[in-house]
Chains A and B, each alone.
Chain A
Amino acid sequence: MKLLSQDRPGGPLISAILVLLLIGLALAPFLFPGTRALDTAARICVFVVLVASYDLLLGYAGIVSFAHTMFFGFGAYGVALTSEHMGRSFAALGIGTLSGALAAALLALAIGLFSLRVRAIFFAMITLAVASAVAVLVSQMSALTGGEDGLNFQIPRALTAAQKYADFKLFGVTLNGKLLNYYLVFSCATVLFLVLLRIVNSPFGRVLLAIRENEFRAEAIGYRVVWFRTGATVLSAVAAALAGSLYAIWLRYVGPSTVLSFEIMIDILLMVVIGGMGTMYGAVVGAVIFILAQNYLQGLMGLAEGALQGLPLLPQLLDPDRWLLWLGVLFILSVYFFPTGIVGRLRRR
């Protein structure tokens, strides 16, 4: 309970789901064999942190930001650039991660102080503008960032499949650097999630709720709203940057479409809403459902289409090429039936 900052998931069903997900992710290399499955699991770990950090902003502080992928990108490009220029080493990863997080913190501070004094909507507009500007810069400064092609870089051999740690297989899994890399991602993501959970349950987190509920009164009982909002922005930016660094280390690649694009921003928003705003645990549920749907819905529809061959209309509707349509339908349904998100719905008050 101390680890969870006295914030229980609430309700036996949601607790059971979360425990299952935790076990699933912790043992993913052994439970779900194959590169694709492991890739999906790592992606889920990274996005849980990214979505949780956005929930801190949106669900707790009530601030709408469109710059979250930008901060994610800072962390990712930080690692890529240092690895590119310093050579493959853990030092490069460390320095890249720290400098990405620092850059994210400074920019978040500047945006926050500049725009949060006025109105929340103004902040949303500014983040949109800054994020677009950064995306354009990254694609234009191709000498440094690799432009639209992005950057492939090398990470220490200890974290790649080339490094073997044992001659035997454990439950059919080769003990190599890739496995170590997964557990690096998994454990960092777990720690970051617990830290975020701690922050939202701290006295500071309670003030964020108060500001979301009634900023006018929060000020009148002695909280300086601008500072708290800026603080939340900086914290969430740093967490997003750290998630970005993890993602880059896992992929050994960064590019605008994988870490900076506006589509990712929309994905994050959807994951927060589906999981449940202002619940933190919603980030886990939202990220898992969304990423599984993104990765496997198409294949599942292919199977369904095959099974329904010969029936009128149905095979056409379930054509794998229409998977985005069905993803959309799923979201509309989930928002309609769970307006407070899945965790919000399952949580007993």
Chain B
Amino acid sequence: MSDVLLATEGLTVRFGGHVAVDRVTCGFRQGELTALVGPNGAGKTTYFNLISGQIRASAGRVMLKGRDLTGLSVARRTHAGIGRAFQLTNLFPNLTVRENIRLVIQSKRGLGHDLWSVAAAHAEVAEAADRVLERVRLTAIADQTVTELSHGNQRKLEVALLVALDPLVYMFDEPTAGMSVDEAPVVLDLIAGLKAETGKCILLVEHKMDVIRTLADRIVVLHNGALAADGPPAEVMASEVVQEAYMGKALADV
């Protein structure tokens, strides 16, 4: 398909004798939110790591808009348009919320190598950071350090960093993990908002079936590192094989 933005071709990684991700060929389109599901250990996060570059592939390729990213470093992939949020909160702990976001915007604008200007004097960066803070509703706690935040707010900031980066491909790894019932909708609304924007390709690893049902355009099922099913949510959820083997437990959790 011509509007495929991100594609993996035969993507494989082996750790010793164990094949964690096994020849996954899959394309992701603009404006599409794909939920990645599968039992624990199915290789979802490893698949994410292969795409964003934290792990190097043993075989296969990662293509973004026809460009081969496979050999590039994490930082280069980020600049190419791959944005990643992490399952375990991964922030800059002793810096303020505002500074966390400012750092992302500074990277996006290629300012990091500037040795001589005063960082605090970059009004355009500060304004962009304020807009992101507003959007993710963190303005009130912008000057607290990350260590002072509740878990829920840390998760929000994790998502906010990705919003600030504004990549071509958004990758969320269980964005609502450990969040309370009241807090989760804020993050989910945010993702829904991103989806409504044109041109955003969103990948979401998620266990909660109700979330997937409301948000996802498509479900990709991984099992033992291999692609087990791929299609519209209703179709995949209805498929007997998938339900029994991979969804049974997850559905029971709901």
- Please say whether chains A and B are actual partners in one complex: yes
A207: chain B residues at CB < 8 Å are 103, 106-107, 112
The stretch from A34-42, A171-179, A222-230, A255-263 touching chain B is: A222-230
Q: Is B122 an interface residue (CB 8 A)?
A: yes
Interface residues on B, range: 35 or more
Q: Which of A5, A210, A219, A228 contacts B118 (CB 8 A)?
A: A5
Q: Is A220 an interface residue (CB 8 A)?
A: yes
Q: Is A204 an interface residue (CB 8 A)?
A: yes
Q: Is A217 an interface residue (CB 8 A)?
A: yes
A221/B78 in contact, CB under 8 A: yes
B115/A204 in contact, CB under 8 A: yes
A221/B90 in contact, CB under 8 A: no
Docked complex Cα distance between A201 and B90 (Å): 24
Q: Which of A6, A204, A216 contacts B112 (CB 8 A)?
A: A204
Q: Which of A205, A209, A216 contacts B90 (CB 8 A)?
A: A216
B78/A201 in contact, CB under 8 A: no
A224: chain B residues at CB < 8 Å are 73, 75-76
Docked complex Cα distance between A209 and B93 (Å): 11
Q: Is B165 an interface residue (CB 8 A)?
A: yes
Docked complex Cα distance between A323 and B163 (Å): 58
Q: Report the interface size for chain A: residues with CB under 8 A from the other chain.
A: 27
Query: Given contacts A221-B107, A223-B112, A224-B75, is CB(A205)–CB(B119) below 8 Å?
Result: yes
Q: Is A157 an interface residue (CB 8 A)?
A: no
A205: chain B residues at CB < 8 Å are 119
A198/B118 in contact, CB under 8 A: yes
Docked complex Cα distance between A224 and B75 (Å): 6
A213/B114 in contact, CB under 8 A: no
Give chain B nearest CB distance to A349 CB in angstroms: 8
Residue of B nearest to A205 (CB): B119
Q: Is B121 an interface residue (CB 8 A)?
A: yes
Q: Is A199 an interface residue (CB 8 A)?
A: yes
Q: Mark B111-149, 1 if CB is under 8 A from A, else 0.
A: 111111111111000000000000000000000000000
A204: chain B residues at CB < 8 Å are 112-115
Give chain B nearest CB distance to A51 CB in angstroms: 20
A217/B90 in contact, CB under 8 A: yes
Q: Mark B38-68, 1 if CB is under 8 A from A, else 0.
A: 0000000000000010100000000000000
Query: Residues on B close to A: CB < 8 A?
Result: 52, 54, 73-76, 78-79, 84, 86, 90-95, 99, 102-104, 106-108, 111-122, 161, 165
11 contacts between A and B (CB under 8 A): A6-B121, A198-B116, A198-B118, A202-B114, A206-B106, A213-B95, A220-B74, A220-B86, A222-B75, A222-B78, A224-B75
